[in-house]
């Protein structure tokens, strides 16, 4: 005869412990706020800090504005209008997500910079000299904002689209009976209703923009991310770098509040109860043409043009660049990404089940804390991982040496462990979300039904949970795989020596002014990035109004 357990609990304790461990990097960084500011910090404060902060904020605000416009326009047009090519645009508008921002930055620089083919041709054709004509400066704050907006607008697109589709068609029809034409309905009814979802998408995009290192470094902009790199390595002051990171967390925190608050409100804005196929406004020729361009322009500049340029460069340099070394690079990257994906899955499952089996407030809060990493910039995580691990290593080594005369050297920091841990902190949220949505398909009543039919909980795991969750688990793995493949700042700092990834190689070659050579690595990353786009697009194809859809 067994007891029904309540109370003392491995699950609960486990979840709390996992949350604390994953919060260590952020806590470490915040802890540095308590340290007295040294000479370097004073110097930063007096000279460049203001610039760092202003530039970061400018970038974030600019990208916010950019993605808002691009995302909402494309979402509205594809969800509520009918025009030639709409069906294709529905999923291809996600393709820019496959492009890491730094890669698109290199590509456009190579194309449009002063010494690049476009300007050189212009000068050649018209006999101009530099300074005779005006041409937008790609490597500038404006350029960075455009780059980041082009690759990040799909976040807003996805969220806005879900919101528009989820709105009860009745609401829009009511506004028509009250005399509002399609445009007014959009601005006065649909857009305000969708606002929380749109803001949530914007916050995610802005977090990514804040965390970007590759693009801003290449464009020569001084932001908080480049500032942290420079203070850490240039001035050699880890403490000051950590303090900069803590400052950055302040901005991140504000963005997270914005996003969380909006998501919560978005839930209450779901007005539809029953599914009804949305009638689409059939557009006449002129509006249809503009709708087509509204969708085509971001797709072209965000994906098609850079992809083609990369292909051209790739083909030009293939003979030289694709060799055994490149194969090794691909192998390393793939192994790392796959390993990280697997490694992230276990904690994600543990936390998801923990939240379900122990629906207590502290468990839910702990899980949210554990999943905060997506908002923390990679470089901040790197700082927060390196310091405690190095301390742990040295303390352990010292203790072992004095007690047993044995030296263990560096076990954690400087090995793949540090890098994988950083990936875990940053990407747990991605896996967790996918796993939770899969678990959500298994209602608690199914568990109870299975038990009333004589099966123990573990048997249910095998016979019901695993088959039903299989798809979501796979999606989770894919998303983490691609995210790790694209990740740059944390990888740059934490990777073991002689361990290069595709992202690092592309960055190094581009920084070394070998843009064409970097294309093969860049293409590999983009190709991998298309996979989650395809996965997401299938979920779009199956989307129904009222269905809970997230990025």
Partner 1 sequence: MYSNHSKSSYLELMLKTRTGLFLWLLGILLAAADVLVAAEVNVYSARKEALIKPLLDRFTKQTGIEVDLVTGKADALLSRLVSEGSNSPADLFITVDAGRLYRAKEAGVLQPISVPELETIVPAAYRDPEGYWYGLSLRARVIAYARERVDPADLSTYEDLADPKWKGKICIRSSDNIYNQSLVASLIAGNGEAATEQWAVGLVANMARRPVGGDRDQIKAVAAGQCDLAVVNTYYYGMMLNAEAGSPDHEAARKTALFWPNQQGRGAHVNVSGAGVTAHARHRENAVRLLLFLLGPDAQQWNSEANYEYPVREGVPISPTVAAWGPFKADTLNLERIGVDNRAAVMLMDRAGWK
Partner 2 sequence: MMKQLESKNLSVTLSGRPIVRDVSFKVPQGRTGCLLGPSGCGKTTLLRTIAGFELPEQGRLLIGGTEVSRSRWALVPERRRVGMVFQDFALFPNLCVRDNIGFGLKESPRSAREQRVNDMLRLVGLRDLAKVHPHQLSGGEQQRVALARALAPRPDILLLDEPFSSMDVDLREQLLGEVRTILHQEGITAIFVTHNQFEAFALADEIGVMSAGRLLQWNSGYNLYHHPKCRFVADFVGQGVFIQGTVLDRRGVATTFGIISGRTDNGFKPGEVVDVLIRPDDIVPDKNASIRARVVDRVFQGATFRYTLELNGTRVLCLAPSHYHYQIDEAIPIRLDSKHLVAFRREGAAPVDGSSTVMHQ
Among 331, 394, 457, 463, binds partner 1 (CB under 8 A): 394
Give, in order, the Cα–Cα distances in Å from 76 to each of 71, 85, 273, 297: 9, 15, 21, 15
Does residue 134 bind partner 1 (CB under 8 A)? no
Q: Identify residues 38-57 at the interface with partner 1 (CB under 8 A).
A: 43-44, 46-48
**Smaller CB separation from partner 1, 413 or 475:** 413
427 to 446, contacts with partner 2 by CB under 8 A?
441, 443, 445-446
**Closest-CA residue to 28 (of 390, 424, 416, 492):** 390
Q: How far is the CB of 450 from partner 2 (least distance, A)?
A: 7
- Listed residue (389, 419, 383) closest to 503, CA to CA: 419
Instruction: Pick the stretch among 1-9, 79-87, 136-144, 253-261 that binds partner 2 (CB under 8 A).
Output: 1-9
Alpha-carbon distance values, 66 to 183, 235, 486 (Å): 21, 34, 22
Q: How far apart are CA 133 and CA 143, in angstroms?
A: 18
The H or E element spanning position 477 is helix 466-486
Minimum distance of partner 1 from residue 130's CB (angstroms): 3
Residue 10 binds which one of partner 1, partner 2, none, with CB within 5 to 8 A depending on kind? none
Binding-site size for partner 2 (CB under 8 A) equals 22
Nearer to partner 1, 318 or 369 (CB): 318
Q: Which one of partner 1, partner 2, none interacts with residue 120, CB within 5 to 8 A by kind? A: partner 1
208 in contact with partner 1 (CB under 8 A): no
Tell me the C-alpha distance between 403 and 184, whole Å.
77
Q: Give residues with Cβ within 8 angstroms of 2, minimum separation 6.
A: none
Task: For residue 384, give the nearest of 35, 19, 24, 22 by alpha carbon.
Answer: 24
Binding to partner 2 (CB under 8 A): which residues in 171-230? none
Residue nearer to partner 1 on the CB measure, 83 or 219? 219
Q: Is 468 in the site for partner 2 (CB under 8 A)?
A: yes
Q: Min. distance of Cβ 390 from partner 1 in angstroms?
A: 5
Query: What is the three-class DSSP state of 323?
Result: coil
393 touches partner 1 by CB under 8 A: yes
Residues 6+ positions from 171 with CB-CB distance below 8 Å? 189, 190, 193, 271
Task: For the CB of residue 4, give the shortest distance to partner 2 in the complex, in Å.
Answer: 6
Q: How far apart are the first and last CA of the chain?
A: 46
Binding of residue 407 to partner 2 (CB under 8 A): no
Residue 455 interacts with which of partner 2, partner 1, none, CB < 5 to 8 Å by class: partner 2
What is the 3-state secondary structure of 138-150?
A: CCCHHHHHHHHHH
Q: How far apart are CA 478 and CA 482, in angstroms?
A: 6
DSSP-derived letter for residue 68 is H
Q: In terms of C-beta density within 10 A (0-12 exposed, 13-18 middle, 19 or more buried), how is residue 399 classed? A: exposed
Does the protein bind partner 1 through residue 396 (CB under 8 A)?
no
205, burial (CB in 10 Å: exposed 0-12, middle 13-18, buried 19+): buried
Stretch that binds partner 2, among 3-11, 18-26, 168-176, 262-270 (CB under 8 A): 3-11
| Among partner 2, partner 1, none, partner that 3 touches (CB below 5 to 8 angstroms by kind) | partner 2
Q: Which residues pair with 281 in a beta bridge?
A: 81
Which among partner 1, partner 2, none contacts residue 441 (Cβ within 5 to 8 A by kind)? partner 2
Q: Which of 8, 127, 129, 406 binds partner 1 (CB under 8 A)?
A: 129
Report yes or no: 510 and 218 within 8 Å, Cβ to Cβ.
yes
Instruction: Give the one entry of partner 2, partner 1, none that residue 131 binds, where binding means its C-beta sits below a cut-off of 5 to 8 angstroms depending on kind.
Output: partner 1
CB 169, min distance to partner 2, A: 22
Residues near 335 by beta carbon (within 8 Å), at least 6 away in sequence: none
Give the footprint of partner 1 on residues 470-509 (CB under 8 A). 493, 497-498
Min dist. Cβ of residue 535 to partner 1 (A):
35
- The reply on whether position 445 binds partner 1 by CB under 8 A is no
Point out which span in 224-232, 285-293, 383-391, 461-469 binds partner 2 (CB under 8 A): 461-469
CA 406 to chain centre: 43
Q: CA dist 309 to 300, 312, 503, Å?
A: 12, 5, 18
Residues forming the site for partner 2 (CB under 8 A): 1-4, 6, 441, 443, 445-446, 448-456, 463-464, 467-468
Residues forming the site for partner 1 (CB under 8 A): 43-44, 46-48, 114-115, 119-120, 123, 129-131, 137, 139-140, 218-220, 222, 226, 230, 232-236, 390, 393-394, 397, 407-410, 413-414, 493, 497-498, 511-513
């Amino acid at each position: 005869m067994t007891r029904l357990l309540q109370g003392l609990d491995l699950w609960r304790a486990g979840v709390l412990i996992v949350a604390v461990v994953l919060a260590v990097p952020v806590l470490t960084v915040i802890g540095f706020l308590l340290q007295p500011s040294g000479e370097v910090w004073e110097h930063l404060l007096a000279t460049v800090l203001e610039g760092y902060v202003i530039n970061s904020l400018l970038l974030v605000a600019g990208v916010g504005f950019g993605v808002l416009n691009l995302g909402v326009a494309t979402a509205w047009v594809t969800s509520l209008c009918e025009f030639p090519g709409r069906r294709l645009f529905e999923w291809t508008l996600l393709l820019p997500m496959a492009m890491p921002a730094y890669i698109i930055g290199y590509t456009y620089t190579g194309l449009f910079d002063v010494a690049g083919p476009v300007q050189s041709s212009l000068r050649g054709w018209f006999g101009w000299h530099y300074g005779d004509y005006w041409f937008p400066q790609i490597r500038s704050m404006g350029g960075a904002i455009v780059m980041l907006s082009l690759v990040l607008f799909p976040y807003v697109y996805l969220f806005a689209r879900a919101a528009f589709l989820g709105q009860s068609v009745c609401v829009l029809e009511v506004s028509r009976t009250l005399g509002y034409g399609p445009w007014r309905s959009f601005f006065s009814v649909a857009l305000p209703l969708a606002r929380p979802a749109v803001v949530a998408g914007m916050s995610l995009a802005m977090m990514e923009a804040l965390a970007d290192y590759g693009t801003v470094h290449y464009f020569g902009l001084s932001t908080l991310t480049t500032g942290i790199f420079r203070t850490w390595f240039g001035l050699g002051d880890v403490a000051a770098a950590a303090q900069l990171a803590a400052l950055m967390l302040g901005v991140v925190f504000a963005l997270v509040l914005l996003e969380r608050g909006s998501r919560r409100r978005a839930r209450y804005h779901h007005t539809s109860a029953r599914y009804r196929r949305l009638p689409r406004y059939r557009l006449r020729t002129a509006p249809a043409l503009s709708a087509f361009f509204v969708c085509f322009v971001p797709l072209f500049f965000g994906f098609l043009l850079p992809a083609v340029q990369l292909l051209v460069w790739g083909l030009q340099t293939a003979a030289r660049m694709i060799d055994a070394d490149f194969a090794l690079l691909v192998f390393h990257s793939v192994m790392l990404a796959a390993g990280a994906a697997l490694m992230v899955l276990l904690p994600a499952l543990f936390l998801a089940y923990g939240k379900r089996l122990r629906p207590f407030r502290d468990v839910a809060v702990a899980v949210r804390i554990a999943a905060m990493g997506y908002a923390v910039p990679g470089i901040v995580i790197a700082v927060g991982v390196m310091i405690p691990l190095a301390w742990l290593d040295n303390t352990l080594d010292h203790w072992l040496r004095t007690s047993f005369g044995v030296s263990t050297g560096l076990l954690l920091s400087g090995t793949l462990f540090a890098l994988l841990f950083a990936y875990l902190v940053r990407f747990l949220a991605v896996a967790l979300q996918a796993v939770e949505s899969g678990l959500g398909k298994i209602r608690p009543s199914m568990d109870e039904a299975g038990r009333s039919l004589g099966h123990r909980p573990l048997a249910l795991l095998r016979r019901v949970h695993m088959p039903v969750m299989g798809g979501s688990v796979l999606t989770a793995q894919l998303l983490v795989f691609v995210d790790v493949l694209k990740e740059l700042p944390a990888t740059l700092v934490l990777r073991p020596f002689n361990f290069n990834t595709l992202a690092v190689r592309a960055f190094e070659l581009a920084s070394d002014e070998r843009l064409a050579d970097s294309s093969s690595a860049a293409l590999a990353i983009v190709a991998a990035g298309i996979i989650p786009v395809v996965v997401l697009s299938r979920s779009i194809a199956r989307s129904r109004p009222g269905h809970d859809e997230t990025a």
